Every structure is written in structure tokens, then in C-alpha cells.
Amino acid sequence: MKIPIIGRFFEKKYKNQDLSDVEKRFLALLRGNAKSKSGVDVDRETACKVSAVFACVNYKASTISSLPCVLYKRLQKGKEKADNMDLYHLLHYLPNPETTAAEFWEMYVWNLELTGYGFAYIKRDINGFIKELWNVPTSSVKIYRNKTTNERYYTITEKGQESSPIYSENMMVTVGKRFQNKDSALDPVDIARDAMGLGIALEEYASKYFANGATVSGIVEMAGELSPQMFDQFKKDFRDNFQRLHNAFNVMFLDGGSKFNKISNNPEESQAIEARKFQIIEICRFFSVPPHKVMDLERATFSNIEQQNTDAVQTCLNPLCVKLELSIYKDLLNPKERKKFYAKFLTNALLRGDTTARKDYYNTGIQNGYLSPNDVRELEDMNPYEGGDIYMVNGNMIPVTKIEENYTQKGGEGTQ
């Protein structure tokens, strides 16, 4: 992605501004190398190696990327797809020549969830119309504020070169959690560092336990004294024959009256397994992801999994969708367009039940006049048919528009 100094359409507006006063630099990534309470260094790279962290972020990013992002136009009654606008196709299909919409939103959400910021550079044509959207890694962006105008602006560093100021017209920004109206968002890795660090420590403990054999851990008691040379040779032979995973379950032979005293320190007794399970739940709390979405099915059953899936959409994905939709509204629509257009991530497919549940819902909708056959066919990704847009009600199954006519013909006494 090539970042111009400033597009000609906006260059004149800002070229005389004094940008020497910097209120705040973006330092979130530089805070990501502190130690956790477990003594483990946790940054974004190591955090992603924790399976629960990876699974939580991947669930959000991959699910959002699979949802259609549709630009709608408001009508006097209802809405319609604004598929005649370039922005519709950028959001729904191809944000730029090298990135599909699914890839774009997946990268955008990964950055947002791990750093607290999502950035996309807006490339405009000479007339100021949006032509392309490019993901920008959070680590490449610095945030400034002009004290004279109080405007925020950004710079992007590529190959060691920092770009000229990029103002809000050319940057789509989604901010994660923050207190009050401060410039900097909370760093998710900072907040969850101790939980992530403990998860890494437990994983390293389990790895070393099995690497050292997983069955032998104790003290060898000798009947007499050994010379330094004999002690070193005995220690080497003992480790070569009885430690590490490939020596697990070997039969132990000791000579010279020596005796092996096993130390009881297995993962169950040290509660390492329970602790690792708890850390999965703890990390899920930080990311607001239901545990069953990261393959922790201990509390999931056949009777409640559908309700849990619905709850995941409502409490985990919907808030993120709204945040992204409002970022589009804020940064990709001008004040005039905001009165007519809005974007929506369609989560209907995620809320579908099984075949029986959908059939009951559709039947109820058609019989009570709030769904037409073509509405149902659209929900099921099927083509409409002629005459399928008629809304009916239960009873005589007559069109809603005929009820008033029938009522009038009966002299206001109602239908038979």
C-alpha cells in the first residue's frame, strides 16, 4: 500500500497548519513487553500463542469476516440495498485490488481485539470519493493531536519512513474500550496480561513435565558416599535412561544399595489441569466469548447449545458489529450521506435454528401476515417467485389488503 503525502483534494485545507505541537503519541504497543505476575513476558506475539487467546480473537474475526456487510438506503417506508454506490461494493466485496472483504474485516478485527484500535487508510480520487480501503497494522500508526485546532491526525510508518499527517477524512478508526473521552484506548494485552501469563506458564509447566518423562520425579538416596566423578556419571546415566518422554515407563534398576524415593507431584495433585481449564474461562471473560466457542464444551449439552449460540451472537458479536457499523457511519459517509445511508452486518444466518425451528417460525410468520413466501425464500437464500410477495393472515388466508374491503362490504360487521 502506498500512502501519499496528502491527497490533493485535502492538501490545500491543511498545508498551513502547525503540526509541531504533539499532545499524545500512540504508545500502546510499547507497553506490551512487561512481565506478568507469573514472571512470563507477555506481548501480542506471545499472547497469540495461548490457544484460548487465539481462539477467542479468531472466533470474533472469522465470524465477522463471514457476515455480509451491506450498505442500505433509507426509504420513506423501509430500506433498500444501495448497491449502485461504490462504497457498497468496497464494504461487501473488494475494499482494494489486493484484499477481499472477508480478508479486510478479519485483519481489521484482529488488530482491534489485540491492540484496542482498528485502522484503515481511505484512498480517495481527485474529487474526494472513496475508491479503496487498506488495512493498516496498529503498530505502524501513531496518533497526534494539534493543540491549535484540536484535530486528531495520524502518521503511518512504512519501511522506516513516517508519512505526512493523515487527517480523519483519510482514516477509518475503530477504538476499543477507553475511559471517558481520552485519546488512547485500553490495551487488551495490558488488561489481560496476568491471565495470559499464567496460561503460558501452565503450558510451559505441562510441556516440561512431559518432556522429562512425566512419571519419574524424586530423590535418589545412596547408601554411601560417591566421588565427584562417580556422582556425575551416575547422574548422567540416570537422566539418559529415565528422564524425558521417550523413557517414560522404563523399568528402573539401581545398584550399590541406592534407593529411589518418588516425590508426589503429578499434574492432578498440583491442580495444574484444573488451573489450565480455569484459565480458558478467565481469558474468555476478558474477550466476552462464550467458552463453547473456543472448544470448551464442558458446560455445553445438546439441549442448550442452540440457546448458547444465540446468546453468543447477542452478547459477543452484536456489540462488535454495532461498533464497526458506527465506524463506517462516522468515517466513510459524509454528513449528507449519513441522513440517507447506513451499513449493517447481517447476523440472521447465525441466529437460525435447526430445520424444525425455522419451519415453525416461517409458518407462524406467514400465517400472521408479517412474512411473505418471498421473505422466507430470501432468508433461505432462494430466488423469489412471481406472486410470492403477498402477505396473508390465518383463517381464510386472504391478502391483508382485502381485509378492509371485505369488512366494508359486510357493512362493518366483520368477515364471516
379-403: pLDDT as tens digits: 887 888 998 998 888 766 677 777 7
SS3 345: strand
Percent of the chain with pLDDT over 70: 60
Contacts 24+ apart (CB under 8 A), 152-158: 152/183, 153/19, 154/119, 156/3, 156/121, 158/1, 158/3
Between 384 and 200, name the one with better pLDDT.
384
| Candidate from 77-81, 246-250, 301-305, 380-384 with smallest mean pLDDT | 246-250
Other Cβ atoms within 10 Å of 357 Cβ, number:
11
Strand ordering across the sheet containing 69-74: 79-81, 69-74, 341-345
Distance in angstroms (rounded) separating the CA atoms of residues 406 and 317: 46
- pLDDT bracket for residue 30 (50, 70, 90): very low
User: What is the Cα 232 distance to its own chain's centre?
Assistant: 53
Does residue 113 contact residue 185 with C-beta atoms inside 8 Å?
Answer: no
* Res. 28 pLDDT band, cuts 50 70 90: very low
Read off the pLDDT of residues 304-335 as tens digits, 9 standing for 90 and up.
667 777 888 888 899 999 999 999 999 999 99
Q: Which of 10-14, 264-268, 291-295, 330-334 has the highest mean pLDDT?
A: 330-334
The three-class DSSP label of residue 391 is coil
Report which DSSP code applies to 314. Answer: I
